[in-house]
Amino acid sequence: MDAALIPEGAKRCSFPKFTIGIAIVGAILLWGVFAMGLIWWKGLNQTNMNDYYGFAIWIWADLAVIAVGGGAFFTGLLRYIFKIDELKNIINFAVIIGFICYSSALLILAIDIGQPLRGWFIFWHANVHSMLTEVAFCLSAYFAVLTIEFIPNILENRQAQKVPFFHHLAHNMHGVMAVFAATGAFLSFFHQGSLGGVAGVMYGRPFAVREGLLIWPWTFFLFTWSAAAFGPCFTLLVTRITEAVTRKKLVKDNVVHLLAKISGWMIVTYIVAKIIDTIYWAMVTAPSLGFTLSHFYTNNSFYGYWILITEIVLCGVIPGAILIMKSTRENSKLRLIAIILGVIGVCLNRWVMVLQIMAVPVMSFDTWALYFPSWQEIATTILPIAYGIILIALAYRYLPVFPQEQELNPVEPATEVE
């Protein structure tokens, strides 16, 4: 039915099968849209947030998707600026994942603010001292860059290519993509960093605050570094999931190994910096404010030392070690374990830097505050996942996302596209 739109020489599932899959995920998406509508209509009283938990699951989801979406800017930087040519075989997909992550982040922000119609105030009445202002500007600008990076891939659709203007536009945009990749890397450095700065500058919160360089707390640099380190893990993970769903090899092993290796070394260097930061914070920063490490990890029913160990050792040191060693990196099972752990690790880091900050009591007579999201918050947090699955499914079906797909999956001439 939609054969004319499917890339030439590519094999896809039947249209009814595709439609059923989209409908199932679409139902989840609609559930999220309904919850979103409720929140916009009735207000944030639809959530379980409160005055202790002004920042909650959405801000975590926002930071997490931006972190894992970091694969787009970092892979773009490697491909276009450092000229690592093999990565051209995964850059399209990295850009699509980044596009999904960043559009989701902007949507989450639009849901999260109490007065959505005043969202533009952040640009109009910008406070240059606020990390959130920097986030808003760089995030929006980078989303525009991602859109520009995504457009040539869209224009490569079989039907769009028949229009000479689109054909030439796509070709010429590819030619200047290095400029956008550089711009994207610059913007990403600042918005990933300023998201880390959001926590690090909160000097009223000893769990969050960090010293730093000039106006930037160490969390600024750690967030950028971790996004560049773990973002490619997410790109590889989604590629692996897509391969499993489509039952096809889509990217050659040498490309996967290369990205995994780069990610591994980035994780190792990041985790060394993170360990140093944690030790300095635990031994110097927090004690100077009257707090011991145990204050942050005891006397409550959820946040224990386990979260620190899980984040740094289990989901940091271990995936880093697996990915830097050739033998373990090229073992597909171990590599999958490593990239899953890596993605969990960076998401856990964002969780800690949003929700645990809110949970820890600061005044000596205050108490721990724990929170569980309402169904509306859960539905709106799942919404971007459903949206992402649908967009990936559409992109995979109708666009030449993976340049190596046909080489890896030759279609017999007699076999008609389903």
Partner 1 sequence: MKQENNKAYKFGMVIDLDKCTGCGSCMVSCMSENNVPFKEDESKKKDSITWMRVYKLTNGKSFPDTEVVYMPRPCQHCGGKGDHGHSPCVSVCPAVATDYGYDTGIVSQIYTRCFGCRYCMGACPYHARYFNWWDPKWPEGMENYLSPNVSPRMRGVVEKCSFCYHRYQAARDQAYAQGNKDEIDEENYQTACTTACPSGAIVFGDLNNPAHAVHEIVKPDPHPDPRNKHVVGKSRNPKVFRLLERLGTNPKVYYLSEREWVRKAGDNYLDGEWDKIKNHHGATLSND
Contact status: 55 vs partner 1 (CB under 8 A): yes
Contact status: 133 vs partner 1 (CB under 8 A): yes
Q: Least Å distance between CB 356 and partner 1?
A: 12
Determine the interface stretch with partner 1 among 93-101, 117-125, 238-246, 272-280 (rule: CB under 8 A). 117-125
What is the distance of C-alpha 365 from the center of its chain? 38
Cβ neighbors of 150 (< 8 A, separation 6 or more) are 95, 96, 99
Contact status: 115 vs partner 1 (CB under 8 A): yes
Determine the interface stretch with partner 1 among 24-32, 76-84, 204-212, 271-279 (rule: CB under 8 A). 204-212
Determine the interface stretch with partner 1 among 25-33, 90-98, 222-230, 289-297 (rule: CB under 8 A). 289-297
Using the rule CB under 8 A, which residue among 67, 201, 312, 395 binds partner 1?
Answer: 201
Q: Least Å distance between CB 292 and partner 1?
A: 6
Taking the C-alpha atoms of residue 263 and residue 115, their distance in angstroms, rounded to an integer, is 39
Closest to partner 1 by CB, 96 vs 359, is 359
Q: Which two structure tokens, joined as six digits, stand for 342?
A: 């890596």
Q: Least Å distance between CB 319 and partner 1?
A: 30
Closest to partner 1 by CB, 237 vs 355, is 355
Contact status: 52 vs partner 1 (CB under 8 A): yes
Residue linked to tokens 């995504």: 150
Helices (H) and strands (E) in the chain — how many of each? Answer: 19, 2
Taking the C-alpha atoms of residue 204 and residue 212, their distance in angstroms, rounded to an integer, is 16
Contact status: 362 vs partner 1 (CB under 8 A): yes
Task: Enumerate long-range contacts of 157-162, CB under 8 Å, 24 or more apart.
Answer: 157/5, 157/7, 157/398, 157/399, 158/4, 158/5, 158/6, 158/7, 158/8, 158/398, 159/4, 159/5
3-state SS class at 217: strand
Using the rule CB under 8 A, which residue among 129, 162, 247, 333 binds partner 1?
Answer: 129
Determine the interface stretch with partner 1 among 146-154, 225-233, 264-272, 291-299 (rule: CB under 8 A). 291-299
Contact status: 2 vs partner 1 (CB under 8 A): no
Cβ neighbors of 404 (< 8 A, separation 6 or more) are 89, 250, 251, 252, 255
Using the rule CB under 8 A, which residue among 14, 172, 254, 292 binds partner 1?
Answer: 292
How open is the CA angle 292-294-295, to the nearest 5 degrees? 70
Determine the interface stretch with partner 1 among 40-48, 234-242, 297-305, 313-321 (rule: CB under 8 A). 40-48
Closest to partner 1 by CB, 3 vs 289, is 289
Asked whether the beta carbons of 90 and 78 are under 8 A apart, the reply is no
Contact status: 126 vs partner 1 (CB under 8 A): yes
Taking the C-alpha atoms of residue 367 and residue 348, their distance in angstroms, rounded to an integer, is 23
Q: How many residues in total does the chain contain? A: 418
Contact status: 287 vs partner 1 (CB under 8 A): yes
- Please report, as ranges, the residues that interact with partner 1 according to CB under 8 A: 43-45, 49-55, 112-116, 118-119, 121-122, 124-127, 129-133, 136, 198, 201-206, 287-292, 295, 357-358, 362-366, 369
